[in-house]
A = this chain, B = another copy of it.
Amino acid sequence: MPKIELYTYFRSSASFRVRIALNLKGIDYEPHFVHLTRDGGEQKRSEYLRLNPQGLVPTLVHDAQVFTQSLAILEYLDELCPYPPTLPKTPQDRAYVRSLAQLVACEIHPLNNLRVLNYLKDTLKQSEDLRLNWYRHWIHEGFQALEARLAKDPRTGTYCHGDSPTVADICLVPQVFNAKRFDCSLSAYPTIERIHESCMNLTAFQAAAPQKQADAE
């Protein structure tokens, strides 16, 4: 298989997702580090913008093709290397697992992205306290809904869906990392905490963690 290159930043949770998926599938990759805050943000350099005009990480390059958007990359990796699968078999279960992943990736994460926090600070002149409240508000909104679904759905197992990790876990774990980094209490979300712990027992998740990356500070 042609080499896979990943443009990543240790703290980016979208990059973290892709690192987990690559590890779960046992795919070797060459990382390129894009520092999101140094020198005004290396993701804004013209060299990087040519690859990814949005100036966001991650970007994956494989076989001379450029892939952006972490959820699209997760689907691509599952189609490229179907084993071990990161999506269940039936269309119903696939939709369920995707909806859990999207609850995190479309409802929580976009609101707490660096560029959004910067807009709140620089343009709307919001204080650090109000920005922190914002951050925690969207985590609690999302985690409440996710906990409600995971706690009552019979498909919940060791992981979000059954007993092998899926894209739902791949999205959940980086979001829990962010929540902890911003001191959000997770005591109201016992199922989320339990699943997070199960995931972090796996080498694929451990090796993808921010502090394990070569660009970690």
Contacts and interface: CB of A to CB of B under 8 A. Distances in A.
A67 B71 CA distance: 18
A83 interface: no
A148 interface: yes
A40 interface: no
A94 B75 contact: yes
Interface stretch (A26-34, A97-105, A182-190, A198-206): A97-105
Interface stretch (A5-13, A106-114, A157-165, A208-216): A106-114
Given A126-B124, A137-B119, A95 B76 contact: yes
Q: How many copies does the complex hold?
A: 2
A107 B71 contact: no
Interface in A125-168: 126, 130, 133-134, 137, 141-142, 144-145, 148-149
A149 B72 CA distance: 15
Interface string A17-30: 00000000000000
Interface size on A, as a range, is 35 or more
Given A75-B94, A124-B130, 9 more contacts: A53-B144, A68-B103, A69-B99, A72-B98, A72-B102, A75-B95, A105-B106, A119-B134, A124-B126
Interface of A: 53-56, 63, 65, 67-69, 71-73, 75-76, 79-80, 91-92, 94-96, 98-99, 102-103, 105-107, 109-111, 115-116, 119, 123-124, 126, 130, 133-134, 137, 141-142, 144-145, 148-149
